[in-house]
A and B are shown apart, each in its own frame.
Chain A
Amino acid sequence: EIVLTQSPATLSLSPGEGATLSCRASQSVSSYLAWYQQNPGQAPRLLIYDASNRATGIPARFSGSGFGTDFTLTISSLEPEDFAVYYCQQRSNWPPTFGGGTKVEIK
Chain B
Amino acid sequence: EVQLLESGGGLVQPGGSLRLSCAASGLTFRSYPMSWVRQAPGKGLEWVSGISTSSDITVYAESVKGRFTISRDNSNNTLYLQMNSLRAEDTAVYYCAKYKGSAMASAYMDVWGKGTTVTVSS
Interface residues, chain A, with chain B CB atoms under 8 Å away: 34, 36, 38, 42-46, 49, 55-56, 87, 89, 91, 94-101
Closest to A42 in B: B114
Q: How far is the CB of B8 from chain A (nearest CB, A)?
A: 17
Contact partner of A96 (CB less than 8 A), chosen from B107, B110, B112, B114, is B107
User: Interface SS of chain A: helix, strand, loop or mixed?
Assistant: loop
| Interchain residue pairs A-B with the least CB separation, the first 8 | A43-B112, A91-B107, A98-B45, A96-B107, A96-B47, A46-B110, A34-B108, A49-B108
Q: Which of B99-122 contact A (CB under 8 A)?
A: 100, 105-110, 112-115
Q: Quick check: is B61 within 8 A (CB to CB) of the other chain? A: yes
Known: A95-B59, A98-B47, A99-B44. 4 other contacts (CB 8 A): A43-B113, A44-B37, A46-B100, A91-B105
A101 to B110, CA, bound (A): 18
7 chain-A/chain-B pairs, Cβ below 8 angstroms = A44-B95, A49-B108, A89-B108, A91-B107, A95-B59, A98-B44, A98-B46
A97 to B63, CA, bound (A): 13
Closest to B63 in A: A95
Closest to B95 in A: A43
Contact partner of A46 (CB less than 8 A), chosen from B109, B113, B114, is B109
A56 to B62, CA, bound (A): 32
Contact partner of B106 (CB less than 8 A), chosen from A38, A56, A91, is A91
A55 to B2, CA, bound (A): 15
Q: Do A87 and B112 contact each other (CB < 8 Å), given the known contacts A49-B100, A96-B107?
A: no
Task: Please determine whether A95 and B47 come into contact, CB atoms closer than 8 angstroms.
Answer: yes
A46 to B98, CA, bound (A): 11
A87 partner residues in chain B, CB cutoff 8 A: 44-45
Task: Please determine whether A100 and B107 come into contact, CB atoms closer than 8 angstroms.
Answer: no
